Amino acid sequence: MTTSSPTYSSVKVGDILPSVQAQVCRADLVRYAGASGDFNPIHWNPRHATAVGLPDVIAHGMLSMGMASRVLTAWLGDPGAIVEFGVRFTNPVVVPDDEQGATVTFGGSVAAKLDDQQVRLTLTATCGEAKILGAAKAIVRLPA
């Protein structure tokens, strides 16, 4: 793992990115709904969420993806270095109705060094024991 901003020459396949934790509470869901326009009641109404088979209110998938990008930007120091970023949603982030909300832990590792100073990263995201994102990958371009 590198201790300063990574460079193409300094990273190695298998290097681990520093993990990042994020808290998400119900107020965050309200703010995200307003910013995104996604007012689906599964994100704010517990009766509706449980009626459709969910355990409780859940975070927006795109909010989870956006939070996952924090592991990239924290490691890179430059969000403009992200070339591609994609995930598959595997489990929801259930957000309890309390002051702490849910804790989501993000991590990653260097999967491959590509041409043109690009690096493919594999990302992880868990909430408790649940893996919330699958096939989470990014390609970033690093300085020499």
The pLDDT, as a whole number, for residue 3 is 53
The pLDDT, as a whole number, for residue 38 is 97
In the predicted model, what is the mean pLDDT of residues 29-49?
A: 97
d(CA 144, CA 118): 10
What's the mean pLDDT when you consider all of the chain?
96
d(CA 23, CA 102): 6
Helix (H, G, I), strand (E, B), or coil: what is residue 137?
Answer: strand
The pLDDT, as a whole number, for residue 91 is 97
Take residue 133 and report the two structure tokens written for it.
């994102």
For the stretch 41-79, pLDDT in tens is 999 999 999 999 999 999 999 999 999 999 999 999 999
Residue 2 reports pLDDT greater than 50: no
Which of 66, 63, 102 has the alpha carbon at shortest distance from 85?
66
Chain-centre distance for alpha carbon 129: 15
SS3 string, 58-76, reads: ECCHHHHHHHHHHHHHHHH
Burial of 85 (0-12, 13-18, 19+ CB in 10 A): middle
Residue 1 reports pLDDT greater than 90: no
* Neighbour count for residue 20 (Cβ, 10 Å): 20
Report the DSSP beta bridge partners of residue 112: 120
Which residue has 């690093």 as its token pair?
142
